[in-house]
Amino acid sequence: MVFKAAARFLISGILCSFMLTAPAQVIVRKSASDFTRNPTLIFQGVKNSLALSAAMNSMLNSCGWFDLSSGGAADYTLSGVYSSGTLKLALRQNGAAVADLALRLAPGKEREAAKAAVDALLKKLFKIQGICRTKIAFCADTGEKSKNIYLCDIDGAGLQRVTRSWNMCVEPEWMPDADSLLYTRYNRASTDIVQVMPSRGISRIVAAYTGMNLGASPSPNGKYLALILSRDGQVDLYLKSLTGRSRRRLTADRAAEASPCWGPSGGSICYVSGSSGRPQLYVIPAGGGVPRHLPTLGEEAVTPAWSADNEIVYTARLGGHYAIATLDLNGRKPPKTVVSAAGDWESPSWAPDNRHIVCYRTYGGRAAVYLVDTWTGRARQLLRIKNNASMPCWSKIIE
């Protein structure tokens, strides 16, 4: 990469130490196949720090792996105390110690400490890397003919504007290291693919071929882009180096292709094609080959995203409206609709826990970003802003 990774020392001298002193009856497993329910948790707050209490409560509520309870019986209780720059947390089950956690934090970094602490609990209990130390990118209307890219945390806080354009900046896509973003920028007579590093405010054009440059998706190793280009009067799927101009054409038909995304191994690309007469999902080897049609729900299937555990989430057209559906390529479970409430649900993107997604819903003439639990179908609006928000993308863990 051209960009040098920005150092992050938001929490100084983090010390995470766990002691497993009693067997934990973990109710949520690592996949939906043996899911029963979220464990309930009573959070008793952090003594001596209202800021840490508020930040912890927000992350516990937003992570989606616990159901917080205000009292009575619960599977777990969590309490904390802040003293001399150190946050100490104690997780208990039926009064017995399950885990103890200590984090040393710099002044004013309560939210960063809360994110690290909750992710540490998730890793201990559910064997996942977490979800709190991530960012969600999305585009929002900023004028009659303009959209710009924004970022926020999983609880909707920390809103940050990334681009400042009078035109359309859309289709944000995180690079694998979560240091930078790709997006499509509309110009007067063309479109470009731009890479931007939000932490430093610098950007560069990575694809500006004649015609359209759309829907760039980085490979898992960050070296290549799958993207849509228009040449020879056709709209096809291409592969190109992130840093060079060389490219390889992967499709060559009269149908329009769109919305590529990479498989977790980097060996395959899923994309949308209208070659059958209506938009459907196909998978093609990254090195080229014969596309394979995927068995999806509904009359149309668009905007796929591929999880690290080999599950594709996509937008399905069902009876005149759009819903979010999943397809497990491991064959562990049948295709299913995740959320199909009123309105149109579109453009899903996986969280790094392979359970939650972010998408947007258009309802009553307004578009807003939502987080959805693919195991339970629960959905909540991420943030409430006056402008339409759409095309979200969830980053990997930001270390």
According to DSSP, the β-strands at 344-350 and 224-231 are unpaired
What per-residue confidence (pLDDT) applies to 11? 37
Question: Per-residue pLDDT tens for 104-115?
Answer: 999 999 999 999
Question: Per-residue pLDDT tens for 342-363?
Answer: 999 999 999 999 999 999 999 9
Point out the residues of the chain with pLDDT beneath 50: 1-16, 18-24, 26
Residue 263, Cβ density class (10 Å: 0-12 exposed, 13-18 middle, ≥19 buried): buried
C-alpha to C-alpha distance for 352 and 308, rounded to whole angstroms:
8
Provide the whole-model pTM.
0.93
Sketch out the chain's domains with CATH numbers: 1-28+39-133 (3.40.50), 136-394 (2.120.10.30)
Count Cα neighbours of 303 within 13 Å in the Cβ-side half-sphere: 24
What per-residue confidence (pLDDT) applies to 233? 83
What per-residue confidence (pLDDT) applies to 174? 98
CB 231 within 8 A of CB 207: no
HEC string of 296-316?
CCCCEEEEEEECCCCEEEEEE
